[in-house]
Amino acid sequence: MPDNAPNPVQVLGRAVAILNHLAQSDSGLSLTEVAKAVGLAGSTAHRLLTSLEAERYVRFDAETRLWSIGVQAFVAGAGFLKTRNVVQMARPHMRTLMERSGETVNLAIEEAGAAVYLGQVECREMMRSFARLGARVPLHSSGVGKALLSGLADADRDRLLARTGLPGATPRTITDLAALRADLEAARARGYAVDDEEHAVGLRCVAAPVFNEHGDPACAVSLSGPKARITDERMAVLGGMVAETAARIMAEIGGRGP
């Protein structure tokens, strides 16, 4: 390779930087804006853009003179979505959360009006919570279910709850719709939901939603354990851990917040 030839790795890095900046723009960017965003001369940016355009990763609107993401970028992204295994991708983060918290960690999705457990990393404590994979729990009284509900738009949440109802599981289950709405609003504000013996007496759970690429709740991650260990004093710390873990899983699967 001649001394003055472009470094292929550097060229690739610049092209990826251009794609990343265009992906963040809602209406497209001019050549000058692209060049400034990635720190390149206009001529260099233009060469890269035309090369990407030839492969349909970007497109140019001759009328507005703006560059934007092309259809091939969507095709490549769709390939990721087809092969994405959320449980597999979440498991390393779930294990880290279990090690940090000392409590059992679960992953669940909403299906047909219930939360369904898809993954679990058990803690090492003699006294620990256990959820059978595939088991279904009510949305309104479980930590994972409340996290999923907190991530929904209000209208979608209310339609779902109207269908499932609010049956009581323990004396602490929230069975009043107004009270549940307030509880879910609080969960949104702090970034995690709490099941305070609402599904099972003596058991507490802290959970947070994981959003997909559309900003909808794809799943929820939780940690659960006996009330003797998940005390009022630990709740905020554990909630922060769960919210951080949910954010890491969301980044792993290519999601975004609502």
218/124 same-domain check: yes
User: What does pTM read for this prediction?
Assistant: 0.70
Give yes or no for residue 168 having a pLDDT over 60: yes
Note the Cα 100 to chain centre separation in Å: 20
Q: Is residue 2 part of a domain?
A: no
Q: How far is CA 96 from CA 34, 104, 124, 151, 226, in A?
A: 39, 11, 13, 23, 20
pLDDT in tens, 99-153: 999 999 999 989 889 998 988 998 887 666 767 778 889 999 999 999 999 999 9
240 versus 75: the higher-pLDDT residue is 240
Final residue before a domain boundary, out of 20, 53, 80:
80
When pLDDT is cut at 50, 70 and 90, the band that residue 80 belongs to is low
Q: Please state the domain count of the chain.
A: 2
In degrees, rounded to 5, the angle at the alpha carbon of residue 255 between the alpha carbons of residues 164 and 218 is 20
Question: What residues make up the domain containing 214?
Answer: 84-253
Q: Is residue 178 part of a domain?
A: yes
17/113 same-domain check: no
When pLDDT is cut at 50, 70 and 90, the band that residue 203 belongs to is very high
151/48 same-domain check: no
73/97 same-domain check: no
Final residue before a domain boundary, out of 64, 80, 96:
80
202/239 same-domain check: yes
For residue 126, what pLDDT is reported?
A: 67
Q: Is residue 3 part of a domain?
A: no
Strands 104-111 and 66-69: unpaired
